[in-house]
Structure 1
Amino acid sequence: MFSKVLVANRGEIAIRVIRALEELGVASVAVYSEIDRDALHVRRADEAYLLGGPTAAESYLNIERILEVVRESGAEAVHPGYGFLAENATFAKALEDAGIVFIGPPASAIEAMGSKTRARELMKQAGVPIIPGTTEAVPDLEAARKIAADEIGYPIAVKAAGGGGGKGFRVAMDESQLQDAFEGAAREGEKFFSDPTVYLERYLPDPRHVEVQVLADKHGTTIHLGERDCSIQRRHQKLIEESPAPHVDEAMRDRIGQISVKAAEAVGYVGAGTIEGLLQGDEWFFMEMNTRVQVEHCVTEMTTGVDIVKEGIRAAAGEPLSIAQADVRLRGHAIECRINAEDASKNFAPAPGKVGSYKEPSGPGVRVDSGLEAGGEVTPMYDPMVAKLIVWDADREQATRRMLRALHEYEIEGLKTLIPFHKALLATEQWRKAETARDLLEDRKWLKTLAFEKAPAPAEGEEEKVEQSYTVEVSGKRFDVRVIGAPIANGAIPAAAGAPAAARRPARRERAASGGQATGDTLPSPLQGNVWKVLVEQGQKVEEGQLVTIIEAMKMENEIAAHKAGVIAELPIKEGESITAGATLAVIKDASS
């Protein structure tokens, strides 16, 4: 076993790995950016080193600087977590060349699975079922049009060859949408993976996203730990995961498990990995392999009792897996809700900010993996996921009830999160029936209702009303009081002069932000981020709904459209500059004025 390991990540996954190292008796080394100086993972590790500036490129993606820190610290191995450099074959190879162990698969496996086109070809050769489509990059739009018309048909999925995590994934329902889908997928592929090549697949309209957890050691043993269902997604990024999958029986579990083991063995895999697939009816297709520990590994840990992070570290150290396939048993049901700093009522817009009070839920079968704390700052520089809430219980129905209880207990003040969304979704008939709930996730009207957890949004011209809950004590007796009325400024509780009542702050409420609402001629930014692309010019005529700019925040592109028709009178933004929520993006005057 190693004596010291560097964790090349931040937030909750860095803390998760540090905990595993501590239990294995291994010293941990953290790295951080300038804005993460006081982050939890920095204080949790045995040592910590500054990487560089606030952006990911200056810090967590800076391979040269990370290699310097490895040498300075004397670390024998590097755990990449997920995201950042976790699936970067160049990074893994650089560590191998320097005699440092990469806690994950060999660079050759990352490279093979990193290119989705190459991975599809390899899986086809290994007898693994793949979604019908191309196994080579499509050179240009005209070639894409021909392949779509002659071979695949519509709807069609356009995917970046180096994509993953929902990036570089666009759908064309018909030929009129193909150009935008092709260019969008290529642009995101270049931006996030330095690879603009794309490939095409038949688009399955409403499949279940079912993936299989695999573990492999250096002694020729590869096993699977059952499946997870990750069908609740927005923008092709997961929001809720569960294990076991509701629509998978023992026979199918065994079949897709064996297929996944075969897929991992085909690339000489070592460590923890996930074979992602799509389930349509009783057909399961390979989609891609994530050559790293997954965000949602926790639900599998809860149902199998296997510490996936520890097994990956042991495998990298040359130790055999501690369990055999025959030992794997799924018990009960686990659900994970991703706690993202996003406003679901505004179509999941990123919502960075400062955390006020912070209280995690607890109790039997409840687990929180978090990088948050009271007073912490959630920056737009990185991924919007700030924590994960995981529960386990005897079956899916009971696990759902436990999750709802835990969500109601979870308090994150001062930050918009997906907690109201999760509470609303888990209470729906779609969730109860284990449907994909795609209709709700794409229903802007339903999402807008999540701006208030209990009170509906006021009609135009109507005074806003919210429900506030208080606990007061009078003459030693406790009373629970509900007040329905106008929201109280700054959440303060007014007290009558001389009233001897003790009151506690009301539970956190998700409130719609006042900034970012277009009024009159001004189009303000609904969020903080960076101007990725400006799509209009000053003096240009625009229609209502026409794209004006694309703002990048928390690794997501957010398209901002004109709120009215007219002429761009002012355009005070430039590509590449940062922008705050509420700042003016454009002033649109009526064409006649």
Structure 2
Amino acid sequence: MSNEHYLHNPLIHSDRQLGRRSSPWVSQFDCTHIRPLIICRGPIRKEAIDVFREMGIRHIGILLSEKDSIVYQNALAPELRVMPDPERVHRVPDYTGVNKEERDQRIQQIIGIARDNGYNAIFAGYGFMAEDETMVAAMETAGLNFIGPCSRTVHDAGLKDEAKRTALKTGVSVTPGIDNATALTLLKRHPDHAALKALIESEGLPLDPANLDEDLEAAADQVLAASYSKGVDLYTVDELSETVTEAVLRMSEDYPSNRVRLKAISGGGGKGQRILGIGEAERAGEMVREILNEVKTTGVGDNKNVLVELNIETTRHQEIQVIGNGQWSMSLGGRDCSLQMHEQKLLEVSVTLESLHLALEEAKAQGKTTEAAVLEQDIHTLSQMEDEAARFGEAVGLDSVSTFECIVDRDKHFFMEMNTRIQVEHRVTELCYALRFANPENSEDHFIVESLVEAMVLLAAHGPRLPKPHRVPRHNDSVEARLNATNQALQPSAGGVIEYWSDAIDGEIRDDQGISLHNPDTDVFMKYTLAGAYDSNIALLLTVGNTRLECYQGMAETIRQTQMRGKDLATNLEFHYGLVNWFLGQNINARPTTRFIVPYLTAVGELKREAQNIDLEHAWRQLSAREIEGAKGANGGGIEGSDDASLALTLDLKHTLLLRPLQILLDQPHLLSGWLSIHRDSYTMINGHVSWNENPMELLADIYHYLNMDLVSGAPAAGMIWEHDHDILSDAQAFYARLDAILPAEDWLAMQTLLSEDHAPEGVALSEEEWAAVQSAHRGYQSGCSILSVLPAIAETTAYFSLAVNDDLTIDIPERLNDAELQSAMAKVLVPPPLAKSDEIIAASGGMFYGRETPDSPLYVEKGDHFDAGDPLYIVEVMKMFNKVYAPFAGTVDEVLVEGDGMIISKGQPVFRITPDEKIVVESPEEIAARRRAATARYLEII
């Protein structure tokens, strides 16, 4: 988190040090006695440090993983810059351990650190063990105050199977499926109460057989819970996989047009989930092993339950922020998290009744009846979800903050799960609502809480005594973009060094775990290495506004001015710029589903495929020659040599002015996507040719501004417009500003018509010589501008604008963009695979290498094995996620070049030496040049 833009942000209130207030009622909720140990990392760790200090809490410690120690040279982690006491930094091998045994060891180590160093509270944020019931219970048993939901809530709400059962009991709508695969598996072996009682006796389980539930499946769950407590397995993964496969087959028969989702009960943040395509039931067993391995529940005695759920295909992912003290529970509005990929959220938008009502009024005023009907339904749905969330919170005894997650399908919604922790996107909510705690005997005696982290501390310290607060609106809307270490296809990109990051601008709220803090002595930005061991998130960028439109505009401006440079650095900053501008150009009230991002990326890939085939220099030469020839023709072939030379000189002077920003757009497809989106009405296709509806010189000025290339004194020349180009552009803008003032033209088309006339319009006091000079200047400023038409020509060629928002706010996704082969091909266009020799397969990304499904599974391939295209070759763990890598072609393994599982590999590193079944053909430079010239010629016909 940027310290300057958090501690001094006017959005942050001044009531945190409650003890300094004069009221005895308020002062009783002082929290300075809390001495927390922070056992999480990332932006939430820095945020917690800041909030705790503002509350007057001074005895603060953090865990620091050895895997985190490489990210900040000479100081280990950014947060250490604000941790003056080195004795408050406690080093551990990693935060959670790789299996149950190591996880238990880490829990005991944390308890020992707390006891030895005077900590009385634990803050786990939104990472690692924040939702681990065993960990929370251990902290409670040790007498430590866990700042978060208690172990009972974590069990009843955090475990996905228990949460689903609670939801059914409290009248909350849930998705079809099964939540007790392990119980059903156990009952195959022990099919009745007598068999279960015998099992209790034979295994010596800590459970009285007389207390078994009358319901057989519930009894099986009791036996399983006892087995987890003792640390024994009563079923095998193979048996569980068989049960899950049977459930998938049944669901496929009942819902033949839907896919099926598998979820480990202890998963979260995208981990431990897989979607089985239609007709892929036979892969269920493989998927079960993958997700259990991913959430590290493959050990003896681990709860390996897997939920089998219907995948709602038109899903919008919405969640409700909930808070409670164990007695009362209330909601704080919603967040739309549908813009996600690989179950990882990208752009999160607030959903509040205040905002929806404003949007509804505007839609009605504009006569958008269909859109208004959708907004009215959304108001109804949000109200229902908020009510269900509050009731569910009370049912599970929620005594902190949690998130009630739902999937929304038009006028229906289904409870998905409750995350019993603070969310990464919690700031989206706290920027919209504050909490007003008032004295029950005097409502004027009150205090305001605007931070959910602060609310968690208050609830941990004084929960039962806290009265139910009122929610106070702060802003109608907020939006958060997750800045991640991913490449242009949104694939995790481990490694890289941030060498420079521009300061946050006014209105930007940046949570960046302290990376942006400068050296306090030299004011120099300090380099930061992105480690691949943990989550890919670098920072959270937030904006607020009175409307969603203001939020999106603020986010676009924030990203426009953000500059980040580094070595081997790949982020999704450009993706966010393109995406935010796509919505600004379409409709910011659009209702994307969770399946939107991949088709969108595919469309962007199509833009790049076309753009990289255009030889801009060749196009410029051809257009310049055409323009000079056209000028001769316009003068009956009698243009003087001096005029010919003058036009040639003018075109030469405008060469870099026009081509520099154009080339950037052609090279950066996400930037091109955004610019096209906000300018889709700037042109019209007439008889197959581009006709501009706006002055091309104004559009050119907009391109420079859009690319943050405005002239700035002292800025590097490589990143801004060059001075001689700026002079030409400024002169052109001043010239057309004067024309706008004297010519009676309503728009650009009318202006062009007037300027084509032989005489000045009636009433315009210009002599024939002056009018001729005006026309000459106009021709000079417009010369060469036809090259700009290459941008809309690309959009037309790829049918880019067929991806559009409908009147009912749904998004029309053309069928081609859902084609799996095209999606895969365009991902490779966005991020071409590393160059490889024809006799090797190299790593597409860095991370940790695994050659098998699980530690007990056979290797995917060994020396001498033949593989077919599409066969799995290895797994790379990067940024928490396990990514299976498949063979791009058929061949035979001659040698495995990685020593074994757990080895760190880097992008481009040879993994296998192979002999391909067919020789790979690589285009020569001459063939590439010829192909580009041919493609450019086709575009010249449109231009």
Q: TM-score range by the shorter chain?
A: 0.7 to 0.9
Superposed, which structure 2 residues align to 1:182-261 within 5 Å? 182-194=285-297, 195-218=303-326, 220-244=327-351, 249-261=378-390
Of 282, 305, 310, the residue aligned with 1:179 is 282
Match of 2:570 in 1: 416
Identity of aligned residues (%): 26
What amino acid does structure 1 have at the position aligned with 2:545?
D
SS at structure 2 position matched to 1:143: helix
Contact 2:39 2:95 in 1 (8 A): no
CA contact (8 A) 1:136 1:199 kept: yes
Equivalences for 1:286-305 in 2 at 5 Å?
286-305=415-434
- Conservation of the 8 A alpha-carbon contact between 1:365 and 1:393: no
Match of 2:82 in 1: 44
Answer 1 or 2: higher relative contact order, Cα 8 Å, separation at least 6: 2
- Counterpart residue type for residue 227 of structure 1: G
Q: Which amino acid aligns with 1:425?
A: L
| Change beyond 3 A, Cα 1:502–1:294 | closer
Alignment of 1:92-111 (within 5 A): 92-111=136-155
* Gap change, CA 1:375 and 1:322, over 3 Å in 2: farther
Partner amino acid, structure 1, of 2:35: K
Q: Structure 1's 423 and 208: CA in aligned 2 closer, same or farther, altered over 3 A?
A: same
Q: Which SS does the other structure have where 1:427 is aligned?
A: helix
Please list, as runs of the form range in 1=range in 2, the aligned pairs for 1:47-446 lying within 5 A after superposition.
47=85, 48-53=88-93, 57=97, 62-137=106-181, 139-141=240-242, 142-149=245-252, 151=254, 153=256, 154-175=258-279, 177-194=280-297, 195-218=303-326, 220-244=327-351, 249-305=378-434, 306-319=450-463, 324=468, 326-329=470-473, 331-345=475-489, 347-364=490-507, 366-373=509-516, 374-414=526-566, 415-429=569-583, 432-436=588-592, 438-442=595-599, 445-446=602-603
| More deviation, 288-297/112-121 | 112-121
1:527 to 842, 845, 852: 845
How large is the RMSD of aligned CA atoms in angstroms?
Answer: 3.3
- Rate the CA distance shift 1:334–1:99 in 2: closer, same or farther, 3 A: same
Contact 2:431 2:474 in 1 (8 A): no
Distance 1:303 1:352, change over 3 A: same
Q: CA deviation at 1:586?
A: 1.5
Cα distance change of structure 1 residues 544 and 360 upon mapping to structure 2, 3 Å threshold: farther
Q: Quick one: structure 1 residues 486 and 216, their matched pair in 2 at CA, closer, same or farther if it must change by over 3 Å?
A: closer
Quick one: which amino acid aligns to residue 579 of structure 2? Answer: L
CA contact (8 A) 2:507 2:554 kept: no
Q: Residues 134 and 431 (structure 1 numbering): CA distance in 2 closer, same or farther, change over 3 Å?
A: farther
What is the one-letter code of the residue matched to 2:581? A
Deviation at 1:238, TM superposition (A): 0.9
Instruction: State how far apart, in whole Å, the 1-side matches of 2:466 and 2:378 are.
Output: 26
The whole-number CA distance in structure 1 between the counterparts of 2:918 and 2:598 is 39
Q: Aligned pair in 2 of structure 1 residues 442, 189: CA closer, same or farther (>3 Å)?
A: farther
Q: Which has the higher helix share?
A: 2
TM-score, normalised to structure 2, is 0.55
> Which string of whole-angstrom CA distances, capped at 9 and with x for unpartnered residues, describes residues 198-232 of structure 1?
121111002111110011125x2211111111000
**Secondary structure, aligned partner of 1:413:** strand
1:586 to 907, 912, 918: 912
| 1:130 positional shift | 0.8
User: Following the alignment from structure 1 to structure 2, what is the Cα–Cα distance between the partners of residues 291 and 507?
Assistant: 45
Greater per-residue strand proportion: 1
Matched, 1:17 2:48: yes
Post-superposition Cα deviations, 1:396-418, rounded to whole Å, max 9, x if no partner, equal 11211110110122222122111
Work out the CA distance in 2 between the residues paired with 1:558 and 1:317.
Answer: 41
> By how many angstroms is 1:4 displaced?
1.5
- Rg larger in structure: 2
The amino acid of 2:716's aligned partner reads R
Distance (Å, rounded) in 1 between the aligned partners of 2:886 and 2:659: 40
Aligned equivalents of 1:117, 1:405: Cα separation in 2: 43
Residue 44 of structure 1: CA displacement? 2.1
Query: Deviation of residue 457 (structure 1)?
Result: 5.7
- The verdict on how the C-alpha distance between 1:244 and 1:536 changes in structure 2, with shifts beyond 3 A counting, is same
CA distance in 2, matches of 1:566, 1:174: 29
1:475 corresponds to = none
CA distance, structure 1, for counterparts of residue 614 and residue 838 of structure 2? 15
Aligned residue identity for 2:161: T
The one-letter code of the counterpart of 1:358 is W
Distance 1:252 1:330 in 2: 22
> Contact conserved, 2:488 with 2:830, CA < 8 A, in 1?
no
Count of residue pairs brought into register by the alignment: 559
Residue 507 (structure 1) shift: 4.8
Question: How many angstroms apart in 2 are the aligned matches of 1:64 and 1:173?
Answer: 42
Q: Check whether the contact 2:252–2:278 (CA below 8 A) recurs between aligned residues.
A: no
Does the CA-based 8 Å contact 1:215-1:222 persist in structure 2? yes
CA 459–543 in structure 1, closer or farther in 2 if over 3 Å, else same: farther
Specify the code of the residue in structure 2 equivalent to 1:134. Answer: I
Residues 581 and 114 (structure 1), Cα distance of their counterparts in 2 relative to 1, 3 Å cut: same
* Structure 1 pair 38–458 and aligned structure 2 pair: CA distance change class (3 A): same
How far is the alpha carbon of 1:163 from its aligned partner?
A: 1.8
* Cα distance in 2 for residues equivalent to 1:331 and 1:66: 39
Task: Give the whole-Å Cα distance in 2 for the aligned partners of 1:431 and 1:532.
Answer: 44
**Aligned equivalents of 1:130, 1:502: Cα separation in 2:** 59
Q: Which moved more, 1:92-101 or 1:315-324?
A: 315-324
Cα gap change, 1:10/1:60 in structure 2, threshold over 3 Å: closer, same or farther? Answer: farther
Alpha-carbon separation, structure 2, partners of 1:60 and 1:446: 43
TM-score between both structures, scaled by the size of structure 1: 0.86
Check 1:428–1:317 CA distance in 2 against 1; reply closer, same or farther (3 A cut). Answer: same
Q: Deviations over 1:337-388 (max 9, x none)?
A: 001111133x423332211111243213644444424401110111101110
Is the CA contact (8 Å cut-off) linking 2:510 and 2:539 kept in structure 1? no
Tell me the alpha carbon deviations over residues 252-271 of structure 1, each in whole angstroms, 9 at most, x when there is no partner: 33321111011111111111
Paired residues of 1:93 and 1:107 also in contact (CA < 8 A) = yes
Residue 330 of structure 1 deviates from its aligned partner by 6.3
Farther-moved stretch of structure 1 (355-364 vs 188-197): 188-197
C-alpha distance in 2 between matches for 1:539 and 1:184: 27
2:63 match: 31
CA distance in 1, matches of 2:308, 2:456: 33
Q: For the residues of structure 1 that align with 2:533 and 2:717, how far apart are their CA atoms? A: 31
Task: Output the CA distance in 2 between the equivalents of 1:572 and 1:339.
Answer: 34
1:451-466 residue pairs with structure 2 within 5 A? Answer: 458-459=612-613
CA contact (8 A) 2:508 2:541 kept: no
Paired residue type of 1:235: H
After superposition, the Cα gap between the structure-2 partners of 1:533 and 1:115, relative to the gap in structure 1 and judged at 3 Å, is farther
Q: Give unpaired runs (5+ residues) of structure 2.
A: 1-30, 70-74, 183-239, 298-302, 357-374, 435-449, 517-525, 620-655, 665-712, 721-828, 853-859, 920-943
Separation in 2, partners of 1:505, 1:93:
59
What residue in structure 2 maps to residue 542 of structure 1?
867
User: 1:474 — aligned with what?
Assistant: none
Q: Aligned pair in 2 of structure 1 residues 136, 3: CA closer, same or farther (>3 Å)?
A: closer
